[in-house]
Amino acid sequence: MIASKRDSLCMRILRARYKVRNDWLRKNPPKRASSVWKAIEGTKMLIAKGACYLIGDDTFVNAWIDPWIPWVQGFKPKPEDESIIQNPLMVSQLIDASCRSWKINLLQELFDSTSVQAIIQIQISLTPRPDKLIWVLDQKGDFSVNSAYRASHNQSPSNAPYNVPWQRVWRLRAPEGTKMLLWRIGQNAIPTKENIVLRIGEGDPNCVLCGKNIENCYHLFFKCNGVRALWFASCDGLRSDSIPIFTNEDIVKFIVSPNSFLGVVSARNKEDNELDSLRMLITLEAIWFMRNQLLHNASHIDIMEASQLIKKRTLEYANKTLSKEKTISKNKSVNGWEVPEDGRIKINVDAAMFENATALAVVARNKNGKVLKVWAKRHEWCSPMQAEAAAIYWAI
């Protein structure tokens, strides 16, 4: 009993120290944390398998990004239209407070038929009650170490992870080796430091590149400070740390369809999107190679050199798989800039649309393509055309 009270007190202290709130599952881990808290943060992917909100009357459950539908994969709804901008939407907004029932018309307007059928099965309480996070892998809804252990060991290559668009992965026009790497990431079959420690039971789980956070796939490939600069340089100012990736499944979905995953409205055609996926796949491969070189050979990391190699490989493979006419139209997208006149500096701008904000980026290069300066900032949400205009105005 004394030990139990002591453990409970320690957990309350940790929760207060690291400001654990309702958005903990989707929030990035703190940059500086104790080894104990890093280990707890490393369990997010496991907890996400069974954590789901029991809907009440509170307003903090986000319908797009929080888990709240027990009968669908991932506990999150799918949009009726993939191009829809997923603005912040609370589940409470989907409920008619006067008669305590779902707003069916609104559900059908936003979500696909499978999600709608699952949502209307959720019983709305007639008496007010707070939203509650429960563990659906237990009949009573209570989390336990035993049930979490069983959930982690029941996952096998034949049944996990679920809801991954594997057919779209294999249809990507990309090198077979890079597609296989993405498959291994999606199956969590890649030897990250976390996976090695979980299987062996000992060792250092910290990231090879930054040494501060637990090295799992979503940290290594997207959140680590050591790779954020590479994404920014090789993918036209992409801010990898702002992408809502928390599981290996999210990585696969993002690579296969970046715009749909981010809820970005884009006028790019199918070939442009395929080229984006190709470049991101090659970036994943470059990160894994860079990590292994540092781990096994203590090699020096040159972000600009790696970025140029990614662009070169992307262009080479695009030339092999795309027709000549299509390749010509893609070259600008791969290079991202044209050579300025001698003695001049060229400034490129871009904008990206997210759920509730816009990101602006400005890059300055000389005639050799060397990056001289990079600026990026958040901007209030607006239309794509307004965002592009804001980026140009900011550059000027």
Between these two residues, 6 and 74, which has the higher pLDDT value? Answer: 74
Confidence of residue 81 (pLDDT cuts 50, 70, 90): confident
The residue assigned the tokens 């816009």 is: 358
Checking if the pLDDT of 323 tops 70, the result is no
SS3 content of the chain, % helix, strand, coil (to 5): 50, 10, 40
Assign 267 a pLDDT band (cuts: 50, 70, 90).
low
Return d(Cα 255, Cα 275) in angstroms, integer. Answer: 11
* For residues 41-52, average pLDDT: 81
Report the percent of the chain where pLDDT is more than 90.
Answer: 11
pTM, full prediction: 0.47
pLDDT of 358 strictly over 60 = yes
Q: How confident is the model at residue 266 (pLDDT cuts 50, 70, 90)?
A: low
Pick from 372, 171, 377: nearest CA to 281:
171
pLDDT for residue 99 is more than 90: no
Rg (CA), the chain: 23
pLDDT for 264: 63
Residue 164 has pLDDT above 60, yes or no: yes
User: Which residues, other chains included, contact 140 with Cβ-Cβ below 8 Å and sequence gap of 6+?
Assistant: none
For residue 327, pLDDT over 50 is answered with no
Cα(87)–Cα(85) distance, rounded to whole angstroms? Answer: 6
DSSP bridge partners of 371: 365
Q: Which residues pair with 122 in a beta bridge?
A: none
Peptide bond into 175 cis (omega under 30): no
**What tokens were used for 150?**
């069983």
Q: Calculate the average pLDDT of the chain.
A: 80
Least confident of 9-18, 81-90, 91-100, 185-194: 9-18
pLDDT 10s digits, 25-34: 777 777 777 7
Q: What is the pLDDT of residues 240-257, one digit of tens each?
A: 888 888 888 889 999 998
- Average pLDDT of the segment spanning 340-362: 82
Q: How far is CA 53 from CA 23, 118, 126, 230, in A?
A: 12, 14, 17, 36
Using an 8 Å Cβ cutoff, are 92 and 63 in contact? no
CA-closest candidate to residue 239, choices 228, 248, 250, 247: 228
Range scoring the smallest mean pLDDT among 183-187, 281-285, 292-296, 379-383 = 379-383
Res. 284 pLDDT band, cuts 50 70 90:
very high
Residue 7 has pLDDT above 60, yes or no: no
H/E run at residue 371: strand 371-379
Are 163 and 185 within 8 A, CB to CB? no
Give the residue among 383, 331, 332, 341 at the shortest CA–CA distance from 365: 341
Over residues 17-37, the mean pLDDT reads: 74
Q: Does residue 123 register a pLDDT over 50?
A: yes
Average pLDDT over residues 351-363: 80
For residue 36, give Cα distances in angstroms to 9, 19, 30, 192: 15, 15, 13, 19
C-alpha 133/C-alpha 149 separation (Å) is: 19
- What does each C-alpha distance from 214 to 36, 196, 244, 287, 297 come to in angstroms? 11, 11, 18, 16, 21
* pLDDT in the model for residue 265: 57
pLDDT score of 182 more than 70? yes
